[in-house]
Structure 1
Amino acid sequence: MRIAFLVAPEGVEQVELTAPWEAVTETGDIPVLVSTEPGRIQAFDHLDKADAFPVDAVVGDVTARDFGALVLPGGVANPDSLRMNDAAVAFVKEFFEQGLPVAAICHAPWTLVEADVLRGRTLTSWPSLRTDIRNAGGTHVDEPVRICDAGPNVLITSRKPDDLPEFCNAFVTEFAKTGVTAS
């Protein structure tokens, strides 16, 4: 199964990209780096530049149907940039409309807020997103990982890099349950 990893050209928290990427690779699934621009994305270690990674696909050139699931890594600047890009927001929303699983960590739910897909959903995130999630119709909980199936798809969320082992285990397990493959 091909798994989309949606990130902005700059600002993704590197470990929130690389740890889930490795978890997907270990399952035999294929991670695909999708961004709003071609070329390379610049990852960060909190506020310091880290490594750059090649973009595999531009968000306007792919659809949710090209993938079996979506991973949204965090970093403060990453989801803030994505939520300002109409094509990125539409891409995220399409996963929910297609009933495909989505995993988001740390600040990544900001993009979910913008996509208006959190009504009636329970999720966790970095604590500063609590009010945004509530205002978007969701329920925020403070847990390492939350799996919510109270909607058209399974939503797996996590709070921070310290939760990555639980997050990766949860989303890999949930993605495997779907049996969905990209068309």
Structure 2
Amino acid sequence: MRIAFLSAPEGVEQVELTEPWHAVRDAGHEPVLVSTEPGEIQAFDHLDKADTFPVDEVVGSATAAGFDALVLPGGVANPDALRTDERAVSFVRDFFDRGLPVAAICHAPWTMIEADVVRGRTLTSWPSLRTDLRNAGATWVDERVRVCDQGPGKLVTSRRPDDLKAFCGAFLDVLAERSA
């Protein structure tokens, strides 16, 4: 399966990109880094610059039809930038419209709020997004990982880097279920 990882050019929390990336790759799937600009993205370890990663495809050229699932890594700056880019918002919305699995961690649900795809769903996130999610029509819960079956497709969400093991495991279970 081809799995899109969507990131802005700067601000993605590195561990929230790399741990799911390795989990997907190690399970035999093809991770693909999609961004709003070509070249490289700059990852961060909290507020400190970390590594850079090459972009495989650019939003606008890439479409949800070319993928089997989507991962939205967090960091504060990453989803904040993505939610202001209509091409990125449309890309995310298309995964939901197609009923494809989506996994989002930390602040990543901000982009989903902008895409208007959280209404009627139960999910978790970084705690400061609780009010934003409720105002967008979602039910927010404080759980390590939440798999939501409400609406088309499955949505896997987690709160923070400490939840990555549970997040990756739940997402891989959704992918295995989908491919069965």
Q: Return the TM-score normalized by structure 2.
A: 0.99
What is the correspondence of 1:137-152 to structure 2 with a 5 Å cutoff? Answer: 137-152=137-152
In the alignment, residue 82 of structure 1 is paired with which amino acid?
Answer: L
Determine whether 1:174 maps to 2:145.
no
* Structure 2 segments unaligned to the other structure (5+ residues): none
Q: Deviations over 1:90-131 (max 9, x none)?
A: 000000000000000000000000000011100000000000
Identity %: 72
- What secondary structure sits across from 2:60 in the alignment? helix
Q: How many residues align?
A: 180
Distance 1:176 1:35 in 2: 26
Determine whether 1:86 maps to 2:104.
no
In the alignment, residue 11 of structure 1 is paired with which amino acid?
Answer: G
> Which segments of structure 1 move beyond 3 Å, counting only runs of 4 or more?
none
Which residue does 1:21 correspond to in 2? Answer: 21
Distance 2:119 2:59 in 1: 24
In the alignment, residue 163 of structure 1 is paired with which amino acid?
Answer: D
- What secondary structure sits across from 1:132 in the alignment? helix
Q: Return the TM-score normalized by structure 1.
A: 0.97
* Structure 1 segments unaligned to the other structure (5+ residues): none
Which residue does 2:127 correspond to in 1? Answer: 127
Which residue does 2:163 correspond to in 1? Answer: 163
Distance 1:129 1:176 in 2: 29
Distance 2:92 2:71 in 1: 10
Determine whether 1:12 maps to 2:18.
no
Distance 2:165 2:50 in 1: 21
**Deviation of 1:179 (Å):** 2.1
Which residue does 1:42 correspond to in 2? Answer: 42
Distance 2:140 2:55 in 1: 32
Distance 1:161 1:146 in 2: 14
Which residue does 2:113 correspond to in 1? Answer: 113
Distance 1:26 1:68 in 2: 16
**Deviation of 1:138 (Å):** 0.2
Distance 1:149 1:116 in 2: 17
